Amino acid sequence: MNGWKKALTFSYDDGVLQDRRMVALLNKYGMKATFNLNSELLGQEEYLIREGVKVNHTKVAAKEVRGLYKGHEIAVHTLRHTNLSRITDTATIIRQVESDRENLSCLAGYPVVGMAYPGGGVNYTEKVAELIKNCTKIKYARTTICNYGFEKQRDLFQLKPSVYHGIDMEKMFDLGRKFLEMKPDSPQIFYIWGHSYELDIHDTWSEFERFLEMLSGNKDIFYGTNREILLDSL
């Protein structure tokens, strides 16, 4: 991390319209995030029912991708949000990942190298992780399994984030206060993941902004994308 002992990064899935508001907030507080997109679903209109609430899950249009995520990172989420742990054909797994990567690289204007496994619950296996590592140009892949810690991880293809703000914002604040107080001897990474649409469910945007304000402007913290923190610092 280029000499930094603490780094903060965010990872958001699905490429939904609420990312517009998310990007604006992150930019306001000098934060950076990685946005994981499904290239064959871009522009698709959709709604979800979460906790009894109807939430817009419409995807951003392909023509908007480069401008919207400028200054942040675009990463793979498979072509059509396919749970790779349920696929037995290796060629299909590779195509879902590598074709998405190629499509997104064209939209982004730079080589896309990051990824987040799509789907809730068990959404990857060690076999899938090894396949992606050895048969695609992906350099890291994030799981949905939280470790509630900050230690830098060795296995970049089974990355465990610190916390999922979608269901545990209170825990995110607790970890945030702990992170601010730390004086580590070795690199520590606060890695937050979620979906921007989740902030619409109970209208917790102002609460999330309060978290960004709390963590912002700290000279001891490097604010970067997943790629900048995990790869560019190596």
Q: What's the whole-number mean pLDDT along residues 1-24?
A: 93
Classify 167 as helix, strand or coil: coil
6 vs 65: CA distance, rounded Å:
29
pLDDT value at residue 121? 79
* Residue tagged 């140009």 (tokens): 137
For every residue of 61-94, DSSP letters joined together read PGGGHHHHTTTSEEEE--SS---GGG---HHHHH
C-alpha angle 211/156/96, rounded to 5°?
Answer: 95
Does residue 132 fall inside a structural domain? yes
Residue 20's CB is within 10 A of a number of other CB atoms, namely: 13
Residue 28 lies in a domain: yes
| b/e 41-59 (16+ beta carbons within 10 angstroms → b) | bbeeeeeeebeeeebebbb
pLDDT surpasses 60 at 63? yes
Tell me, what CATH number does 24's domain have? 3.20.20.370
In tens, the pLDDT along 146-198 reads: 999 999 999 999 999 999 988 789 999 999 999 999 999 999 999 999 999 99
pLDDT at 120 over 90: no
Quote the number of domains for the chain: 1
**Residue 18 placed within a domain:** yes
Give me the domain span that covers residue 12.
6-230
Domain-embedded: residue 1: no
Do the domain assignments include residue 65?
A: yes
